[in-house]
Chains A and B, each alone.
Chain A
Amino acid sequence: MNIGAMTLAEAAGLGLMALGAGFFIAGTVGMLRFPDAVSRLHALTKADTLGLGLVVLGAMVMAATPGAVLRLGLIWICVALAGALGAQLIAAFVRRSGDGSGE
């Protein structure tokens, strides 16, 4: 893609997506580096929800039709809900299995 030909919407969209990708990377680093399961979850869910939100926002800016914008929003809500639930279930499992320090 030619930089000169990029529209404002494309630039904004790509910028938002890049920012979102940064959050994904930060979350991945956090998941790999943090010592115990609960703080790993913390890194993963926060970063993923925000990161995906930014990527979706970027795609919304570039989307052609209002329907696509709505569907992208729906995707974000679904993934955020599922992610939150998964994290909550894993955290509950960790808490039940006793130590917060293990896997």
Chain B
Amino acid sequence: MKKKIVCTLCPIGCELEVEIQEGKVVSVEGSLCERGVKYAKDEIENPTRCISSSIPVRGGKRYETVSVKTSSAIPKDKIFDVMNKIKKIQLKAPIKLGDIIIKNVLNLNVDIAATRNIEKDKSK
């Protein structure tokens, strides 16, 4: 099977023609550099993505939510499973950027980490 994908590693955006057999990449054409070949292999054989979301926070100064992300890429087919885990969480201020919100989510060896500092609102 042949598939066309565009490499997104740099703005050139090489249009790659990938030959796939039984889920494995056999050949990649159209790439200007070696990185494109690896990109195609990863995209076809084991696509991964970083995802982000935001979680409601109580008692925060200026913010009502804290933004979070996966600490590294997760398999593409696990995105919605991870989102479902994130959806169940409620947090309280203070929170520091980098705080682990969920450790080793779904045993993927990836954490959900805060990407923003939330100070505690002392006026309340």
The reply to whether chain A is a binding partner of chain B is no
